[in-house]
A and B are shown apart, each in its own frame.
Chain A
Amino acid sequence: MESIGVLMACPMNSYLEQQLENRFKLFRFWTVPDKSSFLASHKDSIQAVVGNAFAGADAMLIEALPKLEIVASFSVGLDKIDLAKCKEKGIRVTNTPDVLTEDVADLAIGLMLAVLRKLCESDRFVRSGKWKSGQYVLTTKFTGKRVGIIGLGRIGMAIAKRAEAFSCPISYYSRTEKPEIKYKYYPSVVELAANCDILVVACALTTETHHVINREVIDALGPKGVLINIGRGPHVDEPELVSALVEHRLGGAGLDVFEHEPEVPEELFGLDNVVLLPHVGSGTVETRQAMADLVIGNLEAHFLKKPLLTPVV
Chain B
Amino acid sequence: MAVAAENQSQPPQNDLPDVLILKPPTAFSIFGDHFFHSPKFQFLKPFESPLPLPQFLLTHAQSVQAILTSASGSVTADTIRLLPRLGLVVTTSQGINHIDLSECRRRGIAVAGAGTIFSTDCADSAVGLLLDVLRKVSAANRYVKQGLWSTQGNYPLGYKLGGKQVGIVGLGSIGTEVAKRLEAFPCSISYNSRSKKPSVPYTFYPNVVELAVNCDALIICCALTDETHHLIGKEVLSALGKDGVIINIARGPIIDEKELVQCLIKREIRGAGLDVFEHEPDVPVELLALDNVVMSPHNAVCTTESLEELRKTVVGNFEAFFSNEPLLTPVPLDDRPHSSVAR
Q: A120-B137, A131-B281, A264-B144 are in contact. Are A141 and B120 (CB under 8 A)?
A: yes
Q: Which of B168-176, B223-231, B300-308, B325-333 contacts A (4 or more CB under 8 A)?
A: B300-308
Collect the chain A residues with CB atoms within 8 Å of residue B136's CB. Answer: 280
Is A193 close to B, CB under 8 A? no
Contact of B295 among A127, A134, A284 (CB under 8 A): A127
**Interface locus among B6-14, B91-99, B102-110, B156-164:** B156-164
B263 within 8 A of A: no
Q: Which residue of A lies closest to B148 (CB)?
A: A278
Complex interface: chain A residues within 8 A of B158 (CB)? 280, 283-285
Residue numbers in A under 8 Å from B144 (CB-CB) = 264, 269, 276-278
Note all chain A residues with C-beta closer than 8 A to B281: 131-132
Chain A residues contacting B124 (CB-CB under 8 Å) are 113, 117, 141-143, 166
Minimum CB distance partner of A260 in chain B:
B150
A164 interfacial by beta-carbon distance below 8 Å: yes
Q: Is there a chain B Cβ closer than 8 Å to A38's Cβ?
A: no
Q: Which of A103, A114, A131, A143 contacts B160 (CB 8 A)?
A: A103
A106's nearest neighbour on chain B, judged by CB, is B161
Q: Which residues of chain A (107-151) have a CB below 8 Å from chain B?
A: 107, 109-111, 113-114, 117, 119-120, 122-127, 131-132, 134-136, 138-144
Q: Contact between A102 and B149 (Cβ–Cβ < 8 Å)?
A: no
Query: A residues within 8 A CB of B123?
Result: 143
> Which residues of chain A have C-beta atoms less than 8 A from B18's C-beta?
none
> Assuming the A-B contacts A136-B302, A139-B303, are A114 and B161 also in contact, with contact meaning beta carbons closer than 8 angstroms in the complex?
no
Q: Does B26 contact A (CB under 8 A)?
A: yes
A165 on interface, CB distance cutoff 8 Å: yes
Q: Is the CB of B145 within 8 A of A269?
A: yes
Are A119 and B137 closer than 8 Å at their CB atoms? yes
A276, B145: Cβ atoms closer than 8 Å: yes
Whole-angstrom CA separation of A268 from B187 in the bound complex: 34
* B235 CB within 8 Å of chain A: no
Is B294 an interface position by the 8 A CB rule? yes
Q: Collect the chain B residues with CB atoms within 8 Å of residue A264's CB.
A: 144, 149-150
A284 close to B294 (CB less than 8 A): no
Q: Which residues from chain A contact B135 at a C-beta distance below 8 Å?
A: 106-107, 110, 280, 283-284
The reply to whether the CB of A288 lies closer than 8 angstroms to some CB of chain B is yes
Please indicate the chain B residues that have their CB under 8 angstroms from the CB of A143 in the complex: 120-121, 123-124
B259 contacts the other chain (Cβ, under 8 Å)? no
Question: Is there an interface contact between A120 and B181, defined as CB atoms closer than 8 Å?
Answer: no
Kindly state whether residue A34 has any CB partner on chain B within 8 Å.
no
- Check if A140 sits within 8 Å of B304, measured CB to CB: yes
Contacts of B163 in A (CB 8 A): 102
Residues of B within 8 A of A266 (CB): 147
A89 at the interface (CB under 8 A from B): no
With A139-B303, A165-B183, A286-B159 in contact, do A131 and B294 touch (Cβ < 8 Å)?
no
Least Cβ–Cβ distance between A114 and chain B, in angstroms: 5
A133 to B142, CA, bound (A): 23
Find chain A residues with CB under 8 A from B141 CB.
114, 120, 275-277
**Interchain CA distance A135-B280 in the complex, whole Å:** 11
Q: Which of A136, A138, A264 has the most CB of B within 10 A?
A: A138
Return A254 CB to nearest CB of chain B, in Å: 9
Measured in the bound complex, the distance between the Cα atoms of B297 and A126 in whole Å is: 6
Cβ of B41 under 8 Å from chain A? no
Contact A166 B181 (CB under 8 A): yes
Nearest-Cβ distance from residue A208 to partner chain B, whole angstroms: 29
A23 located at the interface, meaning its Cβ lies under 8 Å from any Cβ of chain B in the complex? no
Report the bound CA distance from A120 to B137 in whole Å: 8
Tell me if B53 counts as interface (CB < 8 A to partner A). Answer: no
Question: Would you give the shortest CB distance from A109 to chain B, in whole angstroms?
Answer: 7
The answer on a CB contact under 8 Å between A278 and B143 is yes
**What is A's interface to B at a CB cutoff of 8 Å?**
102-103, 106-107, 109-111, 113-114, 117, 119-120, 122-127, 131-132, 134-136, 138-144, 161-162, 164-167, 261-264, 266, 268-270, 275-280, 283-288
Residues of B bordering A, CB below 8 Å: 26, 29-30, 120-121, 123-125, 127-129, 131-132, 134-138, 140-145, 147, 149-150, 153-155, 157-163, 180-185, 280-283, 288, 294-297, 299, 302-307
